[in-house]
Amino acid sequence: AQVGVSRPHESAALHVSGEARYTDDIPEAQGTLHAALGLSPLAHGRLLGVDLELLRRQPGVVAVLTAADLPGENNCGPLVHDDPILADGELRYLGQPVFAVIATDRELARRACALAKQAIRAEPLPPILTAREAHAAGQYVVPPMHLTRGEPAAALASAPQRLEGEWSVGGQEQFYLEGQISYALPQEGQSLLLHCSTQHPSEMQQLVAHALGWSAHQVQVQCRRMGGGFGGKESQSALFACVAAVAAMRLGRPVKLRLDRDDDFLITGRRHGFDYRWQVGFDEQGHILAAEIELISNCGHSADLSAPVMARALCHFDNAYWLPHVAMHGFCARTNTQSNTAFRGFGGPQGALAIEMILDSVARRLGLDPLLVRQRNFYRSEGGRDVTPYGQQVEDNILEPLTQRLIAQSDYWQRRAAIQAFNATSPVLKKGLALTPLKFGISFNVVHLNQAGALVHIYTDGSVLVNHGGTEMGQGLNTKVAQVVAHELGVDLGRVRASATDTSKVANTSATAASTGADLNGKAAQDAARRIKTRLMPLAARLLGCTESELCFAGGRVAGGGREIGFAELVSKAYLERFQLWSEGFYATPGLHWDRSRLQGRPFYYYAYGAAVAEVLVDTLSGESRVLRADVLHDVGQSLNPALDIGQVEGAFVQGMGWLTMEELKWHPQTGLLLTHAPSTYKIPTANDMPLDFRVALFDAPNREDSIHRSKAVGEPPLLLPFSVLLAIKDAVAATGPVRWDPPLRAPATAEAVLRALLSRP
C-alpha cells in the first residue's frame, strides 16, 4: 500500500541540501527590476501627496508608482473590497504601503523607500489603536454577529452558581521563514506570468487581473512551494502580487518584490488578538447551564478574512462541550493597525480558548480538578447533549475514549498527586499540570470553497505527473496527493511526481487552507487517477484474458486471471491503441449547508479531536516557565502518512505554545508603531523551548465519513493542544496561593505576565 505508511516529504532531500527552489531562487530573467514599498509614517492621516521628484532623483530608481498609477481597481482585499493596494486619500495604519519604487536593484529600491517620511505629505488624524476603543466607538469592519441557543439570560439568572470575567489573548505573527515575495514577468500580447509565494494562486490571479483591468485568462500564477504560509499567504500575498504585476506591465520588464522582515511585519497582518467579556452559570458539580460571551477581535484597518475568522471563533466557543443555553456576540473591531488575517486555526483557537479559561475558573471556584469539570461537560449522545449551538449534530464524538486513553498513557492522576507533593515542599519552583481536549470542525465555513480539481498525466513510459489546486507550504500535501495517486494506480511512489501549482493547469481553486488540502485535492486526484484506470481496465482484461473485476493494480504491475503485465507496458500498449492517458478530476465535499446570516447549519463535514497533558515548572521569582513534559493523543482518522502527521502535530503544538507563552505584539500607544517588528523583539519558540519530554501519539481510528482513505485533516486542529501549557502555567501559579484562588493570568503568559499574576495573590 502507498497510503497509511510513513514516507519522507517529497522535497525533504531538497530542503536539507538547499536545492529546493523558492520564488527568490528562480533564475532572474534579463532586465529584471526590483521593487520596494514606501510606508505610511502615520497610523492615521489624510494623504496630501508624495514628493515623486525626490524619489525619482535617487540612484538606481527607474519608476515610482502611487495609487494614481494603478490601471484597474485599487483593491487587494479578498471578500469586502476595502483594502487599497497603495494608499489613496487616507492613511490607515503605520506601515501601510503608499508608493512603490522600482529600481535596478533591491538595495537601491529599499534605500529610496527609506525616504518615505520626507516624501509623504500628510496631515495626522487621531488613530484608534485598540479593539476595546474601536468597540466603544462602534467601529467595525463588518456588522456584529450573534449566535444564540435557548434562553441564556433566564438560565444564567436561575443558575445556582455564577461567575463573570474579562480576558484577552494576543495576536500572533505567522513568521513564515520565507517572507512575502512576488516575481512578475510580462509575456507576449498583454499577458503575465506571476511567480508568487501564496496559498491562493487563483485569488492572486483574480486580484492581479482586476488591478490591471484585465481578464483572468491573461494572468498565469505559479507556486512551486512556500517556505511556510500558516495563513499569512492566504489573502495577504495579494498586495505584493498586484504591485509587482502593475510595475512589470507598466515598464514592460520583469519586476520582483521581496520584502525584508521588518517591512513584512509592518505591512501584513496576523492572528487576531481577542478581548472577551463573559458570564457563566453552573451547578455544584461544574455542569455549565448557561454562558454568554462577547468576543471582540482586533481586525486592523480592513475586513480581509475577519468575518469568516469570527464565524469560526463563534463555532468553536463550544469546543468539546455541551452548552445548553448560550449567547455569543462577535464584534470585528476596526483599528488603525495592520489588517489581521488567517493564521492556523482561523479564529477557532480564539473561540475555544475562551471556554477553556472559563471552565478552569469554574473548577477553581468549586475546588474541583479542572479535568473532572471538563469531562462532565463533554458532548455526549445521551439526552440530546450532542448538538452544537450552530445546529450541527456531533456524530463522530470520540472525546471520552480519547481522553481516557490519554489519562492512562500520561499517568495523569498519579502525576497530579506527585505535583501536589512537590509543590508542598518547594517554595520557589512550582509545578503545574493540565489536560485540555479539542474538537475542531473540518471544512471551509463558506460552503462553495469546499471544492478542488486535479490533473493527472501518465506518460508513455508509465511515469506519472500529478497537478492539483493545492499549494505546498511544507505541510507535505504534495507527498500525500502523490501517495493517493500511486496507490490508485498501483505504482511505486517514486514513479509519481507532483508539479508546481499553476492556475493554467487547474482553474478556480480554493486557498490551501482550513486544513482541507489533502481532503479536497487528494479526492480530486484520486478521481483523476480512477478515470484513467477505468479506461485502462478493458485493455488490461483483454491482454490478460480475464474479467475487469479480477484485475489488481499493485506493485507496478497489473494482475488478473493468474497472469500479469507491467504497468509501464500496459500504458505503452494503451498509447498505441490511442487511449487518453491523462485526466482531470474533481471533488466537492458532500452534505454541507450553512446559513451565514443565522449561523446555523452543517458547516463541517466532520470533526477532528485531540487532547494534551502538559506539565510545567514555573520559577516564581523570575516568572519563567518550562514545559517538562507534554503528552499528546491526536485524531487524524486513518493517517495517510503517520510521519508527516506527527510532524504537523508537533509543529502545531510548539507554534501554539509560542502564541500562548512567548510571542507578544506591542504597538506604541500613541504613534501606533509596531514595536515588535523583528526577531530581535518578537520571540518565537526555538529548539530550546521544546517540551523536555514530548510524547506524541496518533489516535488511530478511521474517519466515519468517506474522506480520502478515511483520514482526517491535521494542519490546524493540533494548534489547540498547547492550551494545556497555558493552563498548566496557571495551575502552577494557583499553587502559590490559597485554595480556590483563580489567578488572573493573561496570554501570552510571558515571564512578565506570570509575575503579574503572582503579584495579585490575595
> Which parts of this chain interact with ligand MTE (CB under 6 A)?
228-231, 344, 473-475, 477, 512-518, 648, 651, 715-716
CA distance 715 to 517: 9
Q: What is the dihedral of CA 470, 471, 474, 477, to 10 degrees?
A: 20
Q: CB under 6 A: which stretch of 96-104, 457-465, 506-514, 637-645 binds ligand LUZ?
A: 506-514
C-alpha cell at 34: 526590483
228 binds, among ligand MTE, ligand MOS, ligand LUZ, none (CB under 5 to 8 A by kind): ligand MTE
Q: In sequence order, what E strands does 411-554 have?
A: 429-442, 451-458, 464-468, 496-498, 501-502, 552-554
Contact by Cβ (8 Å): 603, 594: yes
* Residue 444 binds which entry of ligand MTE, ligand LUZ, ligand MOS, none, CB below 5-8 Å type-dependent: ligand LUZ
Which of 9, 135, 224, 312 binds ligand LUZ (CB under 6 A)? It is 312
Scan residues 560-619 and list those touching ligand MOS (CB under 6 A).
Answer: none
Q: Is 513 in the site for ligand MOS (CB under 6 A)?
A: yes
Active site residue 716: yes
In the bound state with ligand MTE, the residue whose beta carbon lies nearer, of 279 and 648, is 648
Conformation bin of residue 302: beta by default, left when phi > 0, alpha when psi is -120 to 50: beta
Q: How far apart are CA 345 and CA 719, in angstroms?
A: 7
In the complex with ligand MOS, which residue's Cβ is closer, 510 or 750? 510
Residue 691 and residue 630 in contact, taking contact as beta carbons nearer than 8 Å:
yes
Instruction: Single out the residue of 257, 266, 342, 613 in contact with ligand MOS (rule: CB under 6 A).
Output: 342
Q: Per the structure block, which three cell numbers stand in for 97?
A: 504601503
Binding mask 126-145 for ligand MOS (x = CB under 6 A): --------------------
Taking CB positions, which residue lies at the least distance from ligand MOS? 231
- Work out whether 346 is an interface residue with ligand MOS (CB under 6 A): yes
**Could you say whether residue 308 binds ligand LUZ (CB under 6 A)?**
yes
- The phi and psi torsions of 603 (rounded to 5 degrees) equal -75, -20
Smallest gap from Cβ 389 to ligand LUZ, in A, equals: 17
HSE at residue 545, side-chain half, CA atoms within 13 A, is 2
Residue 434 makes contact with ligand LUZ by CB under 6 A = no
Q: Is 344 in the site for ligand MOS (CB under 6 A)?
A: yes
Q: Any idea of the CA torsion for 573, 578, 581, 587, to the nearest 10 degrees? A: -140
* Beta carbons of 700 and 333 less than 8 angstroms apart: no
Q: Are 587 and 527 within 8 A, CB to CB?
A: yes
Q: Which of 445, 467, 479, 501 binds ligand LUZ (CB under 6 A)?
A: 445
Find the residue with minimal CB distance to ligand MTE.
517
For 610, the 3-state DSSP assignment is strand
Site string for ligand LUZ, 463-502 (x = CB under 6 A): ----------------------------------------
From the list ligand MOS, ligand LUZ, ligand MTE, none, which binds 516 (C-beta under 5 to 8 Å, kind-based)? ligand MTE
Residue 156, CA distances (Å) to 279, 287, 293, 327 in order: 8, 13, 12, 11
Beta pairing, strands 464-468 & 191-196 = unpaired
Cis check: omega of the bond before 748, within 30 degrees of 0: yes
Largest CA distance in the chain: 85
Q: Supply the minimum distance, in Å, between the C-beta of residue 241 and ligand MOS.
A: 17
Is residue 669 packed enough to be buried (19+ CB in 10 Å), middle (13-18) or exposed (0-12)?
A: exposed
Q: Kindly write out the interface string for residues 174-213 of this chain, putting x where it contacts ligand MOS by CB under 6 A and - elsewhere.
A: -------------------------x--------------
Q: Which of 47, 513, 568, 725 binds ligand LUZ (CB under 6 A)?
A: 513
Q: How far is the CB of 667 from ligand MTE (least distance, A)?
A: 24
- Which residue out of 356, 472, 716, 752 is catalytically annotated? 716
User: What is the C-alpha separation between 419 and 416, in angstroms, rounded?
Assistant: 5
Grid cell digits, residue 90: 487616507
Region of 158-166, 293-301, 342-350, 653-661 interacting with ligand MOS (CB under 6 A):
342-350
* Candidates 241-249, 423-431, 442-450, 533-541; binding stretch for ligand LUZ (CB under 6 A): 442-450
Interface residues toward ligand MOS, by CB under 6 A = 199, 231, 234, 342-344, 346, 513-514, 716
Q: Which residues are catalytic, by number?
A: 716
